[in-house]
Structure 1
């Protein structure tokens, strides 16, 4: 029997931008904010009630801002590139199949890593048989009130694209607080990602503006006349700004010891622990993604390096790549015999 007629024809489209994907309406609830250093136990109402229906729609609002999770990828170099590395590992060992193209699998793997869930549209032929599975961008996908019903948000306040029951497959991480959307595994390290970004932005602003108060210029000599004092003041002011870190020579005739003193009050170069903050927050980011530094492009701090890269790759494949492949095993329940998805077994990594 053929499929029922869809309410609205849909063709796969790339994910909308963060601004376009956000639901319109000022009454849309937001359960999770990025940017503020808030504690996990914030006594928020959503901590007790879970996921809500969108006030002006027929779908559930994700408990975590999907746009915030996507924007967070640009906050840190490692957090922004590791999901692509995981995606590449998933696609690397995939055996191409017409029922699921490698790009569709890779994009779904990226969504699953970053957002905690991914979606596929089941495409049927004229006889009602499964033709292929097509990736749907998770950023814009929403679960509707009815069971097994999903819709895709559209920009500019247009009505969502609604899918028929059973037309969309959702794969998600388990969340003990709600069972509608998935929960990304790295949420515990979000504050470290933002701390890493804050430390970088602070250092950039310091070098960019060049108008910080890093010292007190102190003079105590009666022989310093007003003209010389004015000239010194002008030279100090001229030393501020981008690229204007300059030295200045002062000669006071008949001056005494300590007539001119430079009293440091904030030595950013040695006392802000920039490197320590960057290293500690980077280690948190690597830990939350469970990836070895050698695979994340981190330079070793000792001459011994990180060890045997082949053994590291083997352990990563067994502990991370295979479980990620298993996430997509349920797709075979929808595919006919002879067209099920399979992955290669790399002998150089699996052999002891």
Structure 2
């Protein structure tokens, strides 16, 4: 609602009571990055992704968990990768991360004059588009121009989306609102501490014998101090009261939000949501929900995570081999504790 101010006069000591409301109207669903905008071809014949890729990029920095977990998953894919003459570790690193955050990753197939594949070049998922010409991809350049590739020149690895078959949708898509709520809670907490327009406590006295000089010194000392963080404090001395050694001075907390808001609860719930939406093991990915006293058996956790999460991601990456000659297929090392290794223990 728009800022308004109303005044209601009541017969209380000949004073009026002012009330006002503040704040601008905000839509409940104002996060455009989470809107499924559908697929359509623009004037250049390029299909726009169903979700905002620029929004997904911003989401990497939305809080302390979402982005780092995606980098962790990229590292786990990269850990056992075997570089070869076509695909360097640096190129595969970019390719794998695009698949983690965008569910779309691209490689350009570079051939020599004899038609043999000699190199795979990374193409940023943010700028790549599928065209209205079957099998042809294009890249939007920073200067606004469009670079079109030849048919079959681009390898596109994508997550499956049942709504359409052109682009992939990240598996974490359903948890975006939890990630944004985590950010909102943090921003609210920071603004609460930084605005300095709210009271931290009321310093109340009921001492008619307090001299004016002592009262001024006491008010100056409170005013010059920073109080609790950046909280403002209020001083009151009721000279009509009776001096009582036990009740003459009272500290009344007002801005103690540590017991009055849901900050810690929201942070914990949203963290659990993000661990779930990424299927991340908190003991391995550097996150902790505080639900368990320790991290458990890291060897067993690592083995289970490798077999149930890393191997499927590696198998996704190996779809590249469908476009390469058998002698140049990409491969991954197999750790001793893997179920795929005959030497692993039960």
Alpha-carbon distance in structure 2 between the residues aligned to 1:194 and 1:291:
18
Cα distance change on mapping 1:174 and 1:36 into 2, 3 Å: farther
Aligned counterpart, 1:27:
none
User: 1:51 aligned to 19, 22, 39, which one?
Assistant: 39
* Segment drifting more, 298-307 vs 285-294: 298-307
Aligned counterpart, 1:291:
280
> Following superposition of structure 1 onto structure 2, how do residues 299-310 of structure 1 map, counting pairs within 5 Å?
299=288, 301=290, 304-310=293-299
Alpha-carbon distance in structure 1 between the residues aligned to 2:263 and 2:157:
40
Asked if 1:138 corresponds to 2:129, the answer is no
Alpha-carbon distance in structure 1 between the residues aligned to 2:185 and 2:213:
42
Q: TM-score, normalised by structure 1?
A: 0.76
User: 2:324 aligned to 328, 335, 350, which one?
Assistant: 335
Asked if 1:148 corresponds to 2:96, the answer is no
The alpha carbon displacement at 1:329 in A equals 2.1
The alpha carbon displacement at 1:213 in A equals 3.6
Aligned counterpart, 1:197:
183
The alpha carbon displacement at 1:281 in A equals 0.6
Higher relative contact order (CA 8 A, sep 6+): 1
Contact 1:58–1:145 (CA<8 Å) still a contact in 2? yes
SS at match of 1:135: strand
The alpha carbon displacement at 1:57 in A equals 2.1
Which structure's residues are more often strand, by fraction? 2
Structure with larger Rg: 2
* Segment drifting more, 246-255 vs 308-317: 246-255
SS at match of 1:348: coil
Cα distance change on mapping 1:220 and 1:327 into 2, 3 Å: same
Alpha-carbon distance in structure 1 between the residues aligned to 2:130 and 2:227:
53
Alpha-carbon distance in structure 2 between the residues aligned to 1:329 and 1:100:
12
Aligned counterpart, 1:38:
29
RMSD of aligned alpha carbons: 3.4
Aligned counterpart, 1:6:
none
Aligned length: 310
The alpha carbon displacement at 1:273 in A equals 2.4
Contact 2:205–2:238 (CA<8 Å) still a contact in 1? no
The alpha carbon displacement at 1:321 in A equals 0.8
